[in-house]
Amino acid sequence: MRAAQVNDDRRKYPRIGQQFIANLSEPDMHESIVGVTDNIGQGGAFIKTDKWTTLQIQDLKIITFFVPPAFSGQNETIVLQGSGIVNRIESERKGVAVQFDKPLKLFERSDKPEMPATDLL
């Protein structure tokens, strides 16, 4: 059995391969990193970002996801915010795995007005 299969089997929640713009910020909200989800589930996400080298394992981040109307079925982009810990850094994929502190369905809606620009999509 391959290592990737073992990791998938140990996940508490399944993940989907969906791309959402994500913003990783410090708890004080002064600095942030923009990325795009490669996959996401209730327990965590893998986020690709040009700034992956600035992150470290065990970094606590406020995570903001911008869920487009085509996925949410709403009339506008939904902004969800919660927190999580960087638990893996992958140089080959140029990104980080983040484990959420609580399930994605419990992330709070945010009034964050503008989606950050990225060319990662």
- Supply the CATH number for residue 34's domain: 2.40.10.220
For the stretch 56-68, what's the b/e string if a residue is b when 16 or more beta carbons lie within 10 angstroms of its beta carbon? Answer: eeebebbbbbbbe
Q: What is the pLDDT of residue 52?
A: 95
Per-residue pLDDT of the chain (121 residues; tens, 9 = 90+): 334 433 445 667 778 888 999 999 988 767 889 999 999 999 999 999 999 999 999 999 999 999 999 988 889 899 999 999 999 999 999 999 999 999 999 999 988 657 777 776 6
Q: Which two tokens stand for residue 18?
A: 């969906």
118 within a domain of the structure (yes/no): no
Q: What is the pLDDT of residue 112?
A: 62
119 within a domain of the structure (yes/no): no
Q: Which residue range is the domain that position 8 belongs to?
A: 3-109
Q: What is the pLDDT of residue 1?
A: 35
Q: What is the pLDDT of residue 11?
A: 64
87 within a domain of the structure (yes/no): yes
Number of domains present in the structure of the chain = 1
Q: Which of 29, 38, 107 is nearest to 61 (CA)?
A: 29
116 within a domain of the structure (yes/no): no
